[in-house]
Amino acid sequence: EEKTIVAGLLAKTIEGG
């Protein structure tokens, strides 16, 4: 599902933040 992609992007954003 798209939620998986969104969750992955959020994780990357948080880690990259």
| Digit-coded pLDDT (tens) for 1-17 | 899 999 999 999 998 76
Give the whole-angstrom CA distance, residue 3 versus residue 17: 20
Q: What is the DSSP letter of 15?
A: H
pLDDT at 13: 94
Note the pTM of the prediction, 2 decimals.
0.17
Measured CA to CA, the distance from residue 16 to residue 4 in angstroms comes to 18
Neighbours of 6 (CB within 10 A): 10
- Per-residue model confidence (pLDDT) at position 9: 95
Q: How far apart are CA 2 and CA 17, in angstroms?
A: 22
What pLDDT is stored for residue 16 in this prediction? 79
Q: Which two tokens stand for residue 4?
A: 């998986």
